[in-house]
Amino acid sequence: MGSVRWAFRCGSWTPSRSDWLFAARCVQREEKDRIGQFVFAKDAKSAMAGRLLLRKFVCERMGIPWSEIKLERTPRGKPYLAAPLRINSDSVRFWSFNLSHQGDFAVLAAELGMQVGVDVMKITMPGSSSVPEFFRIMTRQFTEYEWSIIQSPSSEDQQLAAFYRHWALKESFIKAIGSGLGFNLQRVEFHLSSEPLTQGQVLRQTKMHLDEEEEEDWMFEESLLDADHHIAVALGPADKPGCTPPSLPPPTTFTLLSFSELIASASPLTEEDPSYWESFQMKAEAPQRQRDTRTSV
């Protein structure tokens, strides 16, 4: 199978001491340290779930033993498999994968023979400003045409849903090409499918224009994880020499994993560190404002 779509609901994950300490042992030391530095438990949990998703994918789908996996990041932050280097099977070399965590979920998308980027966005009310003021601050992130679509519904809820849908699409593309913050977002413009986006279904009809030309080679899969979470998966031509474009299987929805499934193939890389649990326990779940109003950012 050439497509993997996994999600883990980290928002409602309340790890026990043994779960948290085991998870910490199963990620690379520098990632464990990075996760330990988050002020809020919510951020630590989503970053931990992200690392476990990546390693589970590399282990189970690329067939590399957990203890041999060495993930690194490009200078702009995109994770990639740096070792083992002895990989010679095409089915291993031609996988591309990406991760996103926001709102209540961490998600992973991987594709064989195509470049992939994924973004999950929770539809949230702006915390400290009105919707029009929030949109004004974001003016430069979207083109005039995109704003006309985002602002066309009469209700603010629907406008926000359209805003986050476009946001997820843009981010998925930026993440597929790995460019991070340096990309001028006005260069890409999305033309949404006229079909409604509903739960349990994946849309592939949305088109992207790059520098005002429709990009035939890129495809976008859009879905809703639940009523509040938009996901976009960008699929583009592989950036690896020798890789022929696959005949794409029908789009698949995201599979929700339990914690046991997330760690099913995991094996410890480091010794248990009880102080890691003590410091995790001391963290507040999220900033006060997010805890007070569930749907505000």
φ, ψ of residue 75 to 5 degrees: the values are -55, -25
Round to whole Å and give the CA distance between 269 and 188.
41
Residue 184 binds to ligand COA (criterion: CB under 6 A):
no
Which DSSP category does 213 fall into? E
Residue 104 binds to ligand COA (criterion: CB under 6 A):
no
The two structure tokens encoding residue 189:
């413009």
Residue 78 binds to ligand COA (criterion: CB under 6 A):
yes
Region from 95-103, 123-131, 237-245, 269-277 binding ligand COA, contact rule CB under 6 A: 95-103
Residue 206 binds to ligand COA (criterion: CB under 6 A):
no
Q: Do 210 and 237 meet the contact criterion of CB atoms below 8 Å apart?
A: no
CB-closest chain residue to ligand COA? 77
**Left if phi > 0, otherwise alpha if psi is -120 to 50, otherwise beta: which for 178?**
left
Residue 210 binds to ligand COA (criterion: CB under 6 A):
no
Site string for ligand COA, 155-174 (x = CB under 6 A): ------------x--xx--x
Which of 108, 149, 185, 224 contacts ligand COA by CB under 6 A? 185
Rule CB under 6 A: which of 21-60 touch ligand COA? 47, 50
Which of 181, 200, 212, 275 contacts ligand COA by CB under 6 A? 181
Which DSSP category does 211 fall into? T
Min CB(166)–ligand COA separation in Å? 7
Pairing relationship of beta strands 255-257 and 3-8 according to DSSP bridges? parallel
Residue 98 binds to ligand COA (criterion: CB under 6 A):
yes
- What is the b/e burial string over 211-229, where b = at least 16 CB atoms within 10 angstroms of the residue's CB? eeeebeebbbbbbbbeebb
CA dist 8 → 20, 120, 206, 224, 256 (Å): 15, 12, 26, 14, 6
Round to whole Å and give the CA distance between 221 and 182.
24
Residue 100 binds to ligand COA (criterion: CB under 6 A):
yes
Q: Which amino acid does the sequence have at 118?
A: V
Min CB(88)–ligand COA separation in Å? 26
Residue 99 binds to ligand COA (criterion: CB under 6 A):
yes
Min CB(33)–ligand COA separation in Å? 13
Region from 3-11, 96-104, 222-230, 258-266 binding ligand COA, contact rule CB under 6 A: 96-104
Nearer to ligand COA by Cβ, of 12 and 247: the residue is: 12
Q: Which amino acid does the sequence have at 142?
A: F
Pick the closest to residue 224 from 151, 293, 164 (CA basis).
164
Region from 98-106, 144-152, 220-228, 267-275 binding ligand COA, contact rule CB under 6 A: 98-106
Round to whole Å and give the CA distance between 287 and 289.
6
Residue 9 binds to ligand COA (criterion: CB under 6 A):
no
Please give the residue ranges that form the binding site for ligand COA (CB under 6 A).
47, 50, 76-79, 98-102, 119, 141, 167, 170-171, 174-175, 178, 180-181, 185
